[in-house]
Chains A and B, each alone.
Chain A
Amino acid sequence: MRGFAAVFLAQLRIFLRNPVDLLVTAVLPLALVLLFGFIWGRGERPTRVGVVLLADGELLQSVLAEFPELAPQTYPEAWALEQAVARRAVDFGLIWDGRELTVLLAHGRVQENPGFAAWARRVARALERRRAGVPPPVRPVKVHVGKLSAATWYDHIVPGLMAVALLQAGVFAVAGRLAAMRERGILRRLQASPVPGWAVLAGVGLLRLGVGFATAGLNLALAQALFGTAFSPHVGRLLFYGLAAGLGGMGFGAALTALARRPGSAATLGSVLVQAMVFLSGIYIPFEFLPPGLRAVGQILPAYHLAQGMRAALGVVEPAPSAFLAGLGFALFGILAFWGFGRRALRPESRA
């Protein structure tokens, strides 16, 4: 036990002194939570529509008042509105001459323009009805049936980032730190000391796992403190998916180390593959946006299920058996692969 404590403390000092490790496993995930928080963490804002009223202005204004999601701003002339739309001072523009509605869309807002055009169509239909003096025959009523009362896209990103923080901590514990220790002969020298081999592996592994948990916890705290996210955490599920991500990550790192020729290559490969997994797992980009082929790939990746599991643990989505089984399988794979790595690395005849 003393050997384990000594290795653990030594590794903590090394971790705190190494700027790259500190950055990749702790600072970068926090920076992402802040960055995404500033972009998506403030809930949905109203769509800003610039309006030029050439005739029958009261009619358009009364129609726009029907839509609380729109924040209208009146402009005196068409050219002033064109400038405002082009420079993104408003989201889109409407010019109303009493008969026809012209919608102004900015070049470059390629993602949002279809939504703005849909708004213009709704306004045009409402104008027709108002002029005819008839109410809309049907009124869509959206009912939120998800888990959180005020869910935003940011509520889905934060648990995903927490899963990534733990996954990365696990991968780099083995593919980065332990692989480098093996190549430099540090593991062999430690075996010559009275410290048992398991204490060395556990010291490094648990420290990195702890760092992963600390980063994930900080992510959660920052999201709640700065952006007012309203999660309902389930401690048992959080621990389960956290451990599954960390242990599975270690196993993944062990597999990469076995494949790579040099520890540097294992770490590079780990970084590339983790980012690819994150990209295909609906963590940064909504999963529905991916083409069917990439979605099929994403659904067999552990990162997708870990992110879903973390979301369930924080009360963002309903818990799903598939996420639980995938998490359990990934954790078991991680334990076995890490054990295999340990046996190879600590073998007395090992030339490492």
Chain B
Amino acid sequence: MRAIGALALAFARTTLREGNTLFWFWLFPLLLFGLLGGIFGRVERGRLDLTVVVVNLDRGPLGWELLRALEEAGLALRSLVPPLGTSAAPLLDEARREVAEGRAHAALIVPEAFSDRLLGGGEKESLPVEIFYRRGEAGSSTAASLLAEVLEEFGCALLAQAGLVRAPVGLGVQRVGGGAQTVGYAEFLLPGVLLMALFVLGLFGVPDVVLLARETGVLRRYFAAPLSGGRYLLGVGLGLALVAAAQTAAVWALGRMAFGVRLPLGRPASLAFLLLAFATALALGFLIAALARNSANALALANLLNLPLQFLGGLYFPLTGLPAALRPLVAANPLTHLAEGWRMALGLGTPTFPLWLNLLVPLLWIVGSGALAAARLTFLEDR
């Protein structure tokens, strides 16, 4: 028992001493959580720093009122007004260039007849108002959508003021598929980052302690001592569990302190998924160690698996609208089921797969990988 404990501590200490493992096992999960949580948490709160050019060709009061409404919507405005008696064409060209060359996210062209048409009333056709933007660019598309929404709201407010719309439609919001609380991005992200950390630990840590230790003769020397293969694996497994527990605690603490995340990680169902994730990560690590000829091959295989597993597992963003070709991969990915099941256990959403499948798929990976590793893996280098 002392040997197992000593091995576990030695493994955990080594991960802190090696630059590579120190970064990927300890620092990277915290950095990723901090960066993604900070960036998308800000996007979630609608703080996007969008710059909009407004060419106001209107000579009446409504053009200015529209500008005020845009400022209230939080857009940074650059207003262009042509001097009296001059052509609007140079300003329109300038607005187009500002957007096309990326200096502004979008431009709104308030037409000459804006006030006259809207105050005159009785028009059967809507007044078209142009918005310049760059399709496909997130900031530009968001700015254009915001402009369109403010413009429509502005028009509706005018109709209400004129007494044309007498029966307003009430709008209620209901959230479904989770607990009663509103889920923030940091809450959604935290289980995803923890799963990523566990899988990086398993995929890269296990081949290191089996293949690299075998190649460098470390295992041969261990086994010259009264230490069996089983006890060695137990010690290493315990070491990995220590690192995983510390990672979980560190990410949880960062979530709580930086983003105010309060997730009930200690719930029995949550703990069950955490353990299942740890076992799956270890099993996949052993699978790689069993399939690779040497540690360099194992590193390549782990890298090859790591990113697709993460991206197709919905760790960082909800998976929606994927093409049919990718759906079987998503369904076979253990991370998809672990992320869904764990989030359900934490009250963060309803899984798209049934609970039994969210348990079965990781279990199948554990059994399959374990069986293959047991059949193929050797601890001593071939002579």
Say whether A344 faces chain B, with CB atoms less than 8 Å apart. Answer: no
Query: Is B300 touching A19 in the complex (CB atoms < 8 A)?
Result: yes
Q: Which of A27, A125, A146 contacts B156 (CB 8 A)?
A: A125
Q: From known contacts A103-B174, A146-B100, infer whether A128 and B129 are also in contact, taking CB-CB under 8 Å.
A: no
Query: Is B138 touching A288 in the complex (CB atoms < 8 A)?
Result: yes
With a cutoff of 8 Å between Cβ atoms, the chain A residues found around residue B299 in the complex are 19-20
Binds A, one of B162-170, B204-212, B219-227: B162-170
In the docked arrangement, what's the CA distance between A155 and B44, Å? 24
Say whether B179 faces chain A, with CB atoms less than 8 Å apart. Answer: yes
Say whether B381 faces chain A, with CB atoms less than 8 Å apart. Answer: no
Q: Contact flags (1/0) for B142-166 with A, using CB distance below 8 Å?
A: 1011011101111110110000111
Say whether A234 faces chain B, with CB atoms less than 8 Å apart. Answer: no
In the docked arrangement, what's the CA distance between A306 and B18, Å? 32
Query: Is A31 touching B308 in the complex (CB atoms < 8 A)?
Result: yes
In the docked arrangement, what's the CA distance between A153 and B141, Å? 10
Q: Which of A35, A128, A142 contacts B307 (CB 8 A)?
A: A35
In the docked arrangement, what's the CA distance between A137 and B113, Å? 12
In the docked arrangement, what's the CA distance between A24 and B144, Å? 38
User: In residues 1-57 of chain A, which contact B (Cβ within 8 Å)?
Assistant: 18-20, 22-24, 27-28, 31-32, 35, 38-39, 42, 45
In the docked arrangement, what's the CA distance between A35 and B96, Å? 34
Say whether A206 faces chain B, with CB atoms less than 8 Å apart. Answer: no
In the docked arrangement, what's the CA distance between A156 and B136, Å? 8
Query: Is A143 touching B136 in the complex (CB atoms < 8 A)?
Result: no
Query: Is A132 touching B159 in the complex (CB atoms < 8 A)?
Result: yes
Query: Is A108 touching B177 in the complex (CB atoms < 8 A)?
Result: yes
In the docked arrangement, what's the CA distance between A259 and B137, Å? 38
Q: Contact flags (1/0) for B303-329 with A, using CB distance below 8 Å?
A: 110011001100001101111011000
Say whether B266 faces chain A, with CB atoms less than 8 Å apart. Answer: no
Query: Is A294 touching B39 in the complex (CB atoms < 8 A)?
Result: yes
Q: Which of A86, A102, A111, A132 contacts B350 (CB 8 A)?
A: A86
Say whether A272 faces chain B, with CB atoms less than 8 Å apart. Answer: yes
Query: Is B169 touching A138 in the complex (CB atoms < 8 A)?
Result: no
Q: Contact flags (1/0) for A83-108 with B, using CB distance below 8 Å?
A: 00111100101000001111111111
Q: From known contacts A101-B169, A122-B152, infer whether A141 and B177 are also in contact, taking CB-CB under 8 Å.
A: no
What size tier do the contact residues of chain A reach?
35 or more
Q: Which of A32, A111, A124 contacts B317 (CB 8 A)?
A: A111
Q: From known contacts A105-B176, A121-B149, infer whether A289 and B39 are also in contact, taking CB-CB under 8 Å.
A: yes
In the docked arrangement, what's the CA distance between A127 and B165, Å? 10
Query: Is A140 touching B129 in the complex (CB atoms < 8 A)?
Result: yes
With a cutoff of 8 Å between Cβ atoms, the chain B residues found around residue A269 in the complex are 19
Say whether B132 faces chain A, with CB atoms less than 8 Å apart. Answer: yes
A-B contact number at CB 8 A: 285
Query: Is A142 touching B100 in the complex (CB atoms < 8 A)?
Result: no
User: In residues 117-151 of chain B, which contact A (Cβ within 8 Å)?
Assistant: 117-118, 123-140, 142, 144-145, 147-149, 151
Say whether A134 faces chain B, with CB atoms less than 8 Å apart. Answer: yes
Say whether A152 faces chain B, with CB atoms less than 8 Å apart. Answer: yes
Query: Is A136 touching B152 in the complex (CB atoms < 8 A)?
Result: yes
Query: Is B300 touching A45 in the complex (CB atoms < 8 A)?
Result: no
Q: From known contacts A110-B183, A129-B156, infer whether A19 and B297 are also in contact, taking CB-CB under 8 Å.
A: yes
In the docked arrangement, what's the CA distance between A38 and B326, Å? 8
Binds A, one of B45-53, B232-240, B267-275, B280-288: B45-53
Q: Taking CB as reference atom, which chain B residue is nearest A89?
A: B352
Say whether A189 faces chain B, with CB atoms less than 8 Å apart. Answer: no
Q: Taking CB as reference atom, which chain B residue is nearest A137?
A: B155
Say whether B216 faces chain A, with CB atoms less than 8 Å apart. Answer: no
Q: Which of B20, B105, B171 contacts A124 (CB 8 A)?
A: B171
In the docked arrangement, what's the CA distance between A28 and B154, Å? 49
Query: Is B174 touching A138 in the complex (CB atoms < 8 A)?
Result: no
Query: Is B173 touching A140 in the complex (CB atoms < 8 A)?
Result: no
Query: Is A38 touching B323 in the complex (CB atoms < 8 A)?
Result: yes
Query: Is A129 touching B165 in the complex (CB atoms < 8 A)?
Result: yes
In the docked arrangement, what's the CA distance between A63 and B129, Å? 21
With a cutoff of 8 Å between Cβ atoms, the chain B residues found around residue A318 in the complex are 100-102
In the docked arrangement, what's the CA distance between A52 and B325, Å? 31
Q: From known contacts A19-B300, A31-B308, A107-B175, infer whether A132 and B138 are also in contact, taking CB-CB under 8 Å.
A: no
Query: Is B148 touching A288 in the complex (CB atoms < 8 A)?
Result: no
Say whether A325 faces chain B, with CB atoms less than 8 Å apart. Answer: no
- State how many angstroms separate the Cβ of A233 from the closest Cβ of chain B: 17
Query: Is B348 touching A108 in the complex (CB atoms < 8 A)?
Result: yes
Say whether A118 faces chain B, with CB atoms less than 8 Å apart. Answer: yes
Query: Is A136 touching B126 in the complex (CB atoms < 8 A)?
Result: yes
Query: Is A31 touching B307 in the complex (CB atoms < 8 A)?
Result: yes
Query: Is A145 touching B134 in the complex (CB atoms < 8 A)?
Result: yes
Say whether A109 faces chain B, with CB atoms less than 8 Å apart. Answer: yes
Query: Is B169 touching A127 in the complex (CB atoms < 8 A)?
Result: yes
Say whether B40 faces chain A, with CB atoms less than 8 Å apart. Answer: yes
Q: Contact flags (1/0) for A141-184 with B, using CB distance below 8 Å?
A: 11111111011111110000000000000000000000000000
In the docked arrangement, what's the CA distance between A87 and B350, Å? 6
Q: Which of A118, A127, A151, A292 contacts B136 (CB 8 A)?
A: A151
Query: Is B102 touching A110 in the complex (CB atoms < 8 A)?
Result: no
Q: Taking CB as reference atom, which chain A residue is nearest B172?
A: A102
Q: Taking CB as reference atom, which chain B residue is nearest A19?
A: B300
Where the two chains meet, the residues of A that have a C-beta atom closer than 8 Å to any C-beta of B are: 18-20, 22-24, 27-28, 31-32, 35, 38-39, 42, 45, 82, 85-88, 91, 93, 99-112, 114-115, 117-118, 120-122, 124-125, 127-129, 131-132, 134-148, 150-156, 264-265, 268-269, 272, 279, 285-292, 294-295, 317-318, 320
CB-based closest 10 A-B pairs: A86-B177, A107-B178, A288-B139, A151-B136, A108-B349, A146-B134, A286-B138, A19-B300, A86-B350, A139-B126
Complex A-B: 14 CB contacts under 8 Å: A35-B307, A99-B169, A101-B170, A104-B176, A107-B348, A118-B149, A120-B171, A127-B169, A135-B126, A137-B126, A142-B148, A151-B137, A153-B136, A292-B49
- Given known contacts A99-B169, A295-B49, what 14 new A-B pairs fall within 8 Å (CB)? A39-B311, A86-B176, A101-B172, A104-B174, A106-B177, A106-B178, A107-B176, A110-B40, A124-B169, A132-B166, A143-B133, A156-B136, A286-B139, A288-B105
